[in-house]
């Protein structure tokens, strides 16, 4: 080989080595990434924790600061990934509601069961100031999905009436309702899910039979 060809060969080898990552290496990187995200959960769920910073996450995860930045270059990137991690950790994708309103009542028990099984994550999302940004981002996606499922039922309502109907039904298929039923009324995930499913069914049935019922609530007041 000439010198030039040898040099080209070495460059090709270096490129191929750089591009190749062993399955073990990939698995180790994913395990480290998960450890970092779990550390965020632990910090967010801890009421004594203040602002959750990247150095604090690195200490909690027992990895170097450089390792955290390798996976998440900014704090926003870290919390975006954590919000997705929380959703994937649940049995039900929280930002994806059923396609039709008729499926909402059936959806509620599974959703509440998922909340119960992932209590630490849900409490962290609901109660921590540090999780507020991630919570807002996932809420926007959930609301869009929910509004699509309710579109047919609320199509004939004016904007104000539609907002009232959506607000009530949406509350019933949300984590705050689960938390209230659990903390204030002592219902477990199964009982709360059944109660929510019943209430959703009643409201959806009433809106379908008599959409005018939401137009003048004064008429039903004692």
- The confidence score (pLDDT) of residue 140 equals 77
As a whole number, mean pLDDT of residues 154-167 equals 93
Which of 10-19, 119-128, 139-148 has the least mean pLDDT? 10-19
Is 0.85 surpassed by the pTM of this model? no
**Is the pLDDT at 20 greater than 70, yes or no?**
no
Which comes out higher in pLDDT, residue 215 or 35?
Answer: 35
Domain boundaries, the chain: 8-82, 90-212
Contact 190, 176 (CB under 8 A): no
Nearest Cα neighbor of 179 from 170, 189, 169 is 189
Q: Are 197 and 105 in contact (CB under 8 A)?
A: yes
Within 13 A of 160's CA, how many CA atoms are on the CB side?
Answer: 4
Average pLDDT value for the chain: 82
Residue with the two structure tokens 């199509």: 155
The third-level CATH classification (topology) of the domain covering 8-82 is: Tetracycline Repressor; domain 2 (1.10.357)
Closest CA to 121 of 22, 42, 18: 42
Q: What is the pLDDT averaged over residues 141-152?
A: 88
3-state secondary structure 20-55: CCCHHHHHHHHHHHHHHHHHHHHHHHCCCCCCCCHH
User: According to the model, what pLDDT value does residue 188 have?
Assistant: 93
- Would the pLDDT of 178 be above 90? yes
Burial of 200 (0-12, 13-18, 19+ CB in 10 A): buried
Span 121-130, average pLDDT: 75
pLDDT at 15 over 90: no
């Amino acid at each position: 080989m000439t010198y030039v060809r040898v040099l080209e060969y070495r460059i090709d080898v270096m490129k191929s080595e750089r591009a190749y990552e062993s399955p073990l290496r990939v698995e180790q990187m994913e395990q480290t990434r998960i450890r970092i995200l779990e550390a965020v959960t632990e910090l967010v769920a801890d009421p004594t924790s203040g602002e959750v910073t990247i150095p604090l996450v690195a200490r909690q995860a027992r990895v170097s600061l450089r390792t955290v930045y390798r996976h998440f270059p900014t704090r926003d990137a870290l919390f975006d990934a954590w919000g997705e991690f929380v959703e994937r950790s649940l049995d039900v994708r929280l930002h994806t509601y059923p396609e039709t309103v008729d499926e909402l009542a059936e959806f509620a028990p599974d959703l509440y069961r998922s909340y119960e099984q992932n209590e630490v994550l849900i409490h962290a999302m609901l109660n921590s100031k540090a999780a507020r940004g991630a919570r807002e981002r996932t809420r926007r996606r959930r609301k869009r999905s929910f509004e699509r499922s309710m579109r047919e039922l609320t199509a004939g309502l004016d904007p104000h009436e539609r907002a009232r109907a959506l607000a009530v039904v949406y509350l019933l298929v949300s984590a705050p309702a689960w938390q209230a039923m659990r903390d204030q009324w002592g219902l477990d995930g199964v009982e709360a899910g059944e109660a929510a499913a019943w209430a959703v069914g009643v409201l959806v049935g009433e809106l379908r039979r008599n959409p005018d019922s939401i137009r003048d609530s004064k008429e039903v007041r004692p």
